[in-house]
Each structure stands twice: as C-alpha cells, then as structure tokens.
Amino acid sequence: MAIQFGDKQFTSTNESRVENYIRIILEKIVELVLKESNPVGIFVYGSLGRGEGTAKVEEDKVILYSDFEIGFVSNTIKDRKIVRILNQQILEATGQDVSLSYFTSSRIRKGTNSNFSLLSRQSKTIETYELTESAFFLYGEDNRTHNSFVDPTNIPVWEGIRCIFNRLAEHHNSVLTDNKSKLAKTANKLRIVCGDAILLLEGKYHYLYSTRSKYFNSMGREYLYHTYRITPEEIERINRGYVWKQKPGERVDENNTSLLKDFELAVHFLTILFENQFNKSIHNSEEMALSYRHSVKLKNEYYKGPSGLPVIQNSILFMQKRINYTQYILSLFDSKSKIHECYLQVLEMTIKVIDELKINQEIKYTDEMKKTLGLYSNLME
C-alpha cells in the first residue's frame, strides 16, 4: 500500500536524502504492521510527526537522532500483544529505534489519557497535547476532533516535574555508555526540558521546539533571573539544547564539570517548580522530597500507563530503575567532588519518596503492571 506523503516534511534539514530515508522506513513499518494485523489506523507522531525530526548527513550516511514513534489504532484488545511482537520485528527489519504504541479510536477521538473507558477523561498532559498536534496518519482514517486537542495553557506544573525526572533517568543511563551520540542526545534533552518547565509555568508551552526556543528567549535574561533565579550560564546551557535539537552534532562535553552542570541545572529547575507549586522556598533536597511526597495534587493526577498509577508513582518508579547504576557512576568520580554530591542530592530525594510510597501507599501491583513498568520485584515486597 502506497502511503500518501504529499509534501510532508519529517525534519527541518531540507535534505531530500534524509526525507527519503525516513519515508522508506515508515513504508516498511506500515508493511510489517499490515502483514500481521488489521488496525483502524497507523500514524507517526513525536518530533518526526511535527516535522522537527533530528537528523544529519555525514559522509553520505543519514544519521537519525529521533525515534520513530508510531501509533497503532485498534479497538481489539488482543492487538496489544501483537504490538509487542511487532516492536521486535520492526527493530530487526529496520535497525531503527521504533516505539509502536497501542491506542483505541476512542482515545484518539476524545484526547483521553487511557485506552480504558473507566479512566477516560481528557488528558492535560504534554504527551496527549503533542500527540494530537503532531500525529500524521500513514494508514486509515484520522478521527481526531476538536475534543482531541488540549489547551497547552492548562497543562499543569507537575508535568514539568515528571519530565525532568524522566530526562534525569535517561541521562543517568547514558553516562555509563561510550556512545557519544546517545550522551549528546540525553544531555541536550535534559537541558531542553528545563527550559520547557519554565514555559509551563508561564503558560507558553508549545509543541514545536522552534517555537519553544523563541518563547523562552523572548522572556529576556533579566526577567528570567529576577523571577526564577536563572543565571546567564544556565540560559546558555538551555539554548545549546534547543539549538542541538534543530541542528544536531555529536559534540558534547564529557568532563566532570560539564556533567555536573547538567545535573545541577536539573536539580535547580526541580526546585523552581516545587517552590512554585507549594508557594514556599525550598532550601535542600530533604525539603524537596517532603514537598513532593506530601502533595495530594501530585498523588491524584494520572497520565498514560496501563497500570493507571498516579504520576508521582510512575515518575519515581521509573527513576528507581536507574538507581542500580548509581554506585558505578559515582565510582568514576572523586568521592569528594561536587558531581558526587550532586548525584547524592538527586538520589536522596528519589529514595526518600520511594521509601514513603512503600510504607504508606496501599497499592496492589499485578504481575502485568510489574512487567509493563519494568519494576524490581523487591520494590513491591
């Protein structure tokens, strides 16, 4: 089946080789999906769907930094298992990072945060907002309506908190690798999400990176410093992230000082969000952890996940998956160095929240939930 691409551009490179390469991969993905199932629709979303995919050509080779985020629309529950099988088949056939996700028609039409009717309410998450704005249908009918779209000014602050935690977890992982491309990617995504967090506070979040960069800088250095205590150095680091996203390169500073600055940046911006959320000053990681785990609002908010867990639990449990790496990471540095202190600050906050959850939260974790979230069994005891 021929996909009607029209004049759709998946990146801002203006490189025909890049666009043709992406189209070939997408055609292969659709071919594999239709061979194994009969979905209602297939769409690409995320940065490629927005037309802001990150890529470059080097020595006549296309280097793609953006993942293929593919939506599989079906109203048949058994297709959820097929999706898991297809993810592996697509990886083997294309060699690309592909995330094939299951969506019901109702979820796309209503802009909800769950495929299940009992949890179906409009989702004011970044994911739902960006999904509905960026989806480009490769197959089937686009059934989005005006109810599908989220007003970005209504996205709550806790989304910024969740995103920073997730980016911290990703960067923790990449620090251990020798993959400079991955390290550059996670470092810059961590920087970007800090800028995005301020845009959430200002009600200026936008699904396009280029527009977010423009909005962030339009606030001016003086305003950012006096309102949020953001230094010129931090602004420059965030801008490096936005620039990288639009014009990627492999270069990333790998010395201890640079790694420290990225983690310190994230801790500072978490503090900004917590102080705004709770309308009080936060002076250390213990106060941050107390504020975080005692927030009724945070505990009652939900986002995507077959488990339907509150966002606080999803975020912290995702961080828990990375804690086993920590001792090795810290062993790379002088135990008296600032980067050691910074890691401990982040992890102290994380572990305190996890401990609180284990003691005080009455959560029944099914085997399917454990498997889906990739949790350690001892965390559930």
> What pLDDT, on the 0 to 100 scale, is given for residue 95?
86
Residue 2 resides in a domain: no
Residue 9 resides in a domain: no
> What pLDDT, on the 0 to 100 scale, is given for residue 27?
95
CA distance 285 to 13: 42
pLDDT of 367 strictly over 80: no
Residues 48-59 have a mean pLDDT of 88
- Are 177 and 132 part of one and the same domain? no
pLDDT of 287 strictly over 90: no
Q: Which domain holds residue 52?
A: 16-150
Residue 10 resides in a domain: no
> What pLDDT, on the 0 to 100 scale, is given for residue 283?
62
> What pLDDT, on the 0 to 100 scale, is given for residue 309?
45
- Are 231 and 331 part of one and the same domain? yes
CA distance 204 to 153: 7
Residues 197-222 have a mean pLDDT of 94
Residue 91 resides in a domain: yes
Higher pLDDT, 104 or 261: 104
Q: Which string of DSSP letters, residue by residue, matches 166-201?
A: HHHHHHHHHHTS--HHHHHHHHHHHHHHHHHHHHHH
List beta partners, residue 103: 73
Q: What is the pTM of this model?
A: 0.72
Asked if residue 211 lies in contact with residue 161, where contact means CB atoms within 8 angstroms, the answer is: no
Q: Which two tokens stand for residue 374?
A: 């990739």
Q: Which of 97-111, 194-208, 219-233 has the lowest mean pLDDT?
A: 97-111
Residue 117: which pLDDT band, with cuts at 50, 70 and 90? low
- Are 114 and 199 part of one and the same domain? no
Residue 346: which pLDDT band, with cuts at 50, 70 and 90? low
- Are 69 and 203 part of one and the same domain? no
Residue 216 resides in a domain: yes
Residue 128 resides in a domain: yes
pLDDT in tens, 238-273: 999 998 887 766 455 545 456 667 877 887 888 888
Residues 82-111 have a mean pLDDT of 87
> What pLDDT, on the 0 to 100 scale, is given for residue 136?
95
Residue positions counted in the chain: 381
- Are 62 and 113 part of one and the same domain? yes
> What pLDDT, on the 0 to 100 scale, is given for residue 276?
80
pLDDT of 120 strictly over 70: no
pLDDT of 290 strictly over 70: no
- Are 202 and 264 part of one and the same domain? yes
Residue 377: which pLDDT band, with cuts at 50, 70 and 90? very low
pLDDT of 304 strictly over 50: no
Q: For residue 14, count other CB atoms closer than 10 A to its CB.
A: 8
Residue 349 resides in a domain: yes
> What pLDDT, on the 0 to 100 scale, is given for residue 125?
82
> What pLDDT, on the 0 to 100 scale, is given for residue 2?
75
> What pLDDT, on the 0 to 100 scale, is given for residue 193?
95
> What pLDDT, on the 0 to 100 scale, is given for residue 171?
78
Sequence-separated (6 or more) residues with CB below 8 Å from residue 297: 158, 277
- Are 218 and 121 part of one and the same domain? no
- Are 300 and 261 part of one and the same domain? yes
Residues 197-220 have a mean pLDDT of 94
Domain termination residue (choose one: 133, 150, 167): 150
Residue 176: which pLDDT band, with cuts at 50, 70 and 90? low
Distances from the Cα of 188 to the Cαs of 16, 124, 134, 177, in angstroms? 26, 25, 21, 16
What total of structural domains would you count in the chain? Answer: 2
Residues 194-212 have a mean pLDDT of 94
* Among 12-16, 247-251, 314-318, the range of highest mean pLDDT: 12-16
> What pLDDT, on the 0 to 100 scale, is given for residue 128?
85
> What pLDDT, on the 0 to 100 scale, is given for residue 154?
86
> What pLDDT, on the 0 to 100 scale, is given for residue 357?
45
- Are 47 and 193 part of one and the same domain? no
Q: Which single residue is written with the structure tokens 């996203």?
A: 245
Residues 174-194 have a mean pLDDT of 81
> What pLDDT, on the 0 to 100 scale, is given for residue 375?
35
- Are 174 and 103 part of one and the same domain? no
CA distance 293 to 96: 38
Residues 222-236 have a mean pLDDT of 94
Taking each helix axis as running N to C, give the angle between helix 311-323 and helix 158-175, from 0 to 180 degrees, rounded to the nearest 10. Answer: 10
Residue 289: which pLDDT band, with cuts at 50, 70 and 90? low
